[in-house]
C-alpha cells in the first residue's frame, strides 16, 4: 500500500477500461460526490476520481483560497495545485489508472487550469466549465499534445467574457489544442454542457 492520500476523495473503478479516467473537480460548496453524476454522463464506464477541496470558505469546500470574488490568493493556489498534483500521482499508483482527463467546474475548473500550467503533461486533457485565468502572470508551460475544452456562459455574472477568452488564448499559445464554446447560459451548467463534454471526450 502507498501512503495516505492528501485529499478526501471518492474513487469509482472503470467498467469500460478503454476509456481514460476522469478527475472530477467540484465548484465552491461541492464535495467529492458532487460531480459523480456528471462524470458518469460525460464518460460512461470511465473510472472516476473525485477529491474534495481542502479549503473552507464560510463552511463551503473549495480547492484554494480567494481574497474576493474573482480575486485569487495566488500563493495558496500554487501550493494547493502542487498538493493536487501529488494526489493525482498517488491515485495513479494506488488505483492503477492512467493519466486522467480533468473535468472541473468553476473553482474546480480554475485549479484544473492551474494544474495544466504548473504540471504540464500530468493530465491527458481538461474540460474547463466556467473557468477563469488562474494567474495574473501565468507560468510558462509546454502543453503540446494536451487537449482542452472550455465551455463559458455568455450570461455568466461571475466570469467576464474577456477573462475566459484570455485563458483560452494563453493555453493555445502554450501549445494546447483548445476548443472554446460560449454557450447561452449563466454560471450554472446546462444540458448543452453535458452533451458537448460527452462528445468531446468521446472524440479524444
3: confidence class by pLDDT, cuts 50, 70, 90: low
The CA-CA-CA angle for residues 97, 133, 26, to 5°, reads 45
6: confidence class by pLDDT, cuts 50, 70, 90: confident
Distance CA 4, CA 86 (A): 11
Judge if pTM exceeds 0.85: yes
Q: Is the pLDDT of residue 1 over 60?
A: no
3-state helix, strand, coil in the chain (%, to 5): 30, 25, 45
Distance of CA 4 to the CA centre of its chain: 22
In this structure, CATH architecture of domain 9-202: 3-Layer(aba) Sandwich (3.40)
Q: Which of 115, 169, 174 is nearest to 144 (CA)?
A: 174
What is the phi/psi pair of residue 141, to 5°?
Answer: -145, 150
Q: Which three cell numbers stand for residue 155?
A: 450570461
Q: Name the average pLDDT for the chain.
A: 96
Distance CA 40, CA 44 (A): 5
Give pLDDT tens digits for 33-77: 999 999 999 999 999 999 999 999 999 999 999 999 889 999 999
Paired strand residues for 126: 102, 148
Residues serving a catalytic function are 106, 156, 187
Amino acid at each position: 500500500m502507498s501512503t495516505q492520500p492528501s485529499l478526501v476523495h471518492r474513487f469509482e473503478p472503470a467498467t469500460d477500461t478503454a476509456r481514460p479516467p476522469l478527475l472530477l473537480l467540484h465548484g465552491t460548496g461541492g464535495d467529492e460526490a458532487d460531480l459523480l453524476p456528471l462524470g458518469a454522463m460525460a464518460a460512461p464506464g470511465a473510472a472516476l476520481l473525485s477529491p474534495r477541496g481542502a479549503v473552507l470558505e464560510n463552511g463551503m469546500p473549495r480547492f484554494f483560497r480567494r481574497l474576493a470574488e474573482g480575486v485569487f490568493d495566488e500563493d495558496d493556489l500554487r501550493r494547493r495545485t502542487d498538493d493536487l498534483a501529488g494526489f493525482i500521482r498517488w491515485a495513479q499508483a494506488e488505483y492503477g489508472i492512467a493519466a486522467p482527463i480533468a473535468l472541473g467546474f468553476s473553482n474546480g475548473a480554475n485549479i484544473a487550469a492551474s494544474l495544466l500550467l504548473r504540471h504540464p503533461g500530468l493530465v491527458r486533457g481538461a474540460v474547463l466549465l466556467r473557468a477563469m485565468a488562474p494567474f495574473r502572470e501565468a507560468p510558462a508551460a509546454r502543453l503540446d499534445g494536451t487537449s482542452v475544452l472550455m465551455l463559458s456562459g455568455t450570461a455568466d455574472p461571475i466570469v467576464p467574457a474577456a477573462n475566459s477568452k484570455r485563458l483560452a488564448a494563453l493555453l493555445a499559445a502554450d501549445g494546447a489544442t483548445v476548443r472554446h464554446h460560449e454557450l447561452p447560459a449563466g454560471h450554472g451548467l446546462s444540458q448543452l454542457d453535458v452533451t458537448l463534454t460527452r462528445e468531446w471526450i468521446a472524440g479524444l
